[in-house]
Structure 1
């Protein structure tokens, strides 16, 4: 049985983005209160865990974006690496802290005001990877002209929305735009046909 990895990765992006977006929306729209109060919501770890699970599935399917490289393959690879690193560091790494560590601390004496040493550097590197990755990947997709132009515009636009510091719950708009672009890439990967095999020397191409 032949497995179409491109379609499989496309389905991973589709399912992962839906699950992750649903988890983030549920956690941030249903949790009462503001600030550290949300971590005391009893269903917060469940919803955040769903979101992190969706992020893991997205990470598994993200390599499919390399199938749409065109005129700027190096820029495409840089963009993919930046987005992948940010997905691991922010959505998955920091998501585990937000979903499980902080609720535990909130129920056992409160969350310390001072962040752990080096955490700000970690976040700074992750945000830099996200900005560079989203911009490079968006430009590469626009130059490749293999996908709708709005996808190439949406990736860097999501970073701009995140930088605006929108209030709750509007700050989720940045993630939703980002996930919408990845969802669309997954749809095109699933709908795309398998590449035609390259004829060998013993089988010359028909004229």
Structure 2
């Protein structure tokens, strides 16, 4: 991946995470009520659409993660694959249902109590991909040392926080941390940190031999 393409991918992560975070925060913090009532909020589809646009932009820039593989290429590939699958399946796939299908159903007979056959399995696979992808990518970043250690640590923390199921509006915190890590990766990609970090690593390896 050339530097220009890497920077383009980095900008996609930066812009995508900002747009997605704004959409999700607006939808979940401004919508009144709870349960099915949130889907009656007039701006719910708009805010969810903004989040979906951000998710698509993130998906386009996500391959830039692989340029930071360093000494942990396999873990980076697993992490990238898991996060990409979860992003497409949960944020884009299920997000489309949340944005447009459920608001329609609320005013046309209500949302069915039972989910369609296979939907739970679909969501389970997506969540598994997210957990495996986040943990593997976090460990990969810590091992590769081409990015600051706190990015890898934050990626793992976001996964743990999501699994804990934080109460109230705090449930948004793991997602915000997750988007913040992708934003940080995008920032380093735009700055061309990969090449500088790689050069530092090579120098550290060569110096003792010299």
Instruction: Give the TM-score taking structure 2 as reference length.
Output: 0.90
User: Within the alignment, does 1:19 sit opposite 2:19 as a pair?
Assistant: yes
Residue 89 and residue 7 in structure 1: after superposition, are their counterparts in 2 closer, same or farther (change >3 A)? Answer: same
Tell me what 1:35 maps to: 35
Shift of 1:58: 0.3
Any idea what the Cα deviations from partners look like across 1:90-138, whole Å, max 9, x if unmatched? 1110100111100010111111110010111001100000000001111
C-alpha distance in 2 between matches for 1:24 and 1:45: 11
Where do 4+ consecutive residues of structure 1 move more than 4 Å? 193-196
**Residue deviations 1:3-24, cap 9 Å, x none?**
8100000000000000000000
Q: Which has the higher helix share?
A: 2
**Correspondence 1:176-191 to 2 at 5 A:** 176-191=176-191
Distance in 1 separating the partners of 2:193 and 2:54: 26
Contact 2:68–2:194, Cα closer than 8 Å, also in 1: no
Q: Structure 2: where are the runs of 5+ without partners? A: 200-210
**How far apart are residue 168 of structure 1 and its match?**
2.7
Alpha-carbon separation, structure 1, partners of 2:27 and 2:18: 14
User: Per-residue deviation at 1:167?
Assistant: 2.2
RMSD: 1.5
Answer whether contact 1:4 1:194 (CA < 8 A) is retained: no
Aligned to 1:170, the other structure's residue is in SS state helix
The residue number in structure 2 matching 1:201 is: none
Task: Please give the alpha-carbon distance, in whole angstroms, between the structure 1 residues aligned to 2:7 and 2:147.
Answer: 16
Question: How many residue pairs are counted as aligned between the two chains?
Answer: 195
* CA distance in 2 between partners of 1:75 and 1:163 (Å): 21
Structure 1 unaligned blocks of 5 or more: 197-207
Q: In the TM superposition, what is the alpha-carbon distance from 1:163 to its structure 2 partner?
A: 1.1
Distance in 2 (CA, whole Å) between partners of 1:134 and 1:7 is 23
Match of 1:49 in 2: 49
